[in-house]
Amino acid sequence: MKYFIQVTLTTYISSMLVYSLWGWVTFQTLDQGWIGSLIYLPHGCRVIFYCFFGVRSLPALYLAEITGPALVWGDQYLDWWFIASISSLLSVVIAVEIIKWSKVSSWKHTILLKINFSNYKFLIFVIIISALFNAIFTNLILSIINRVDLTVHVVARFFIGDVIGSACFIAFLMIMFNMLRSNRLYQVNDN
pLDDT in tens, 6-50: 778 888 888 888 877 777 777 666 556 566 677 888 888 889 889
Which amino acid is located at 10 in the chain? T
The per-residue pLDDT for 119 is 62
Which residue from 175, 174, 54, 182 is spatially nearest to 119, judged by alpha carbons? 174
Burial (CB count <10 Å: 0-12, 13-18, 19+), residue 83: middle
Q: Residue 163 and residue 119: Cα distance in Å, rounded?
A: 18
Answer for the pair 153, 180: CB distance below 8 angstroms, yes or no: no
The per-residue pLDDT for 160 is 92
In the structure, what pLDDT confidence band is assigned to residue 93 with cuts at 50, 70 and 90? Answer: very high
Q: What is the mean pLDDT of residues 143-156?
A: 82
User: Phi then psi for 183, rounded to 5 degrees?
Assistant: -90, 5
The whole model's pTM is what?
A: 0.79
Q: Residue 140 and residue 16: Cα distance in Å, rounded?
A: 25
Answer for the pair 111, 52: CB distance below 8 angstroms, yes or no: yes
Residues contacting 4, CB < 8 A, separation 6+: 56
The per-residue pLDDT for 22 is 77
The per-residue pLDDT for 115 is 46
Which residue from 16, 109, 124 is spatially nearest to 71, judged by alpha carbons? 16
Measure Cα distances from 122 to 15, 119, 152 in Å: 21, 7, 27
Which amino acid is located at 134 in the chain? N
Answer for the pair 66, 85: CB distance below 8 angstroms, yes or no: yes
Q: Is the pLDDT of residue 133 over 90?
A: yes
Q: Residue 149 and residue 117: Cα distance in Å, rounded?
A: 40
The per-residue pLDDT for 91 is 94
Q: Residue 1 and residue 106: Cα distance in Å, rounded?
A: 28
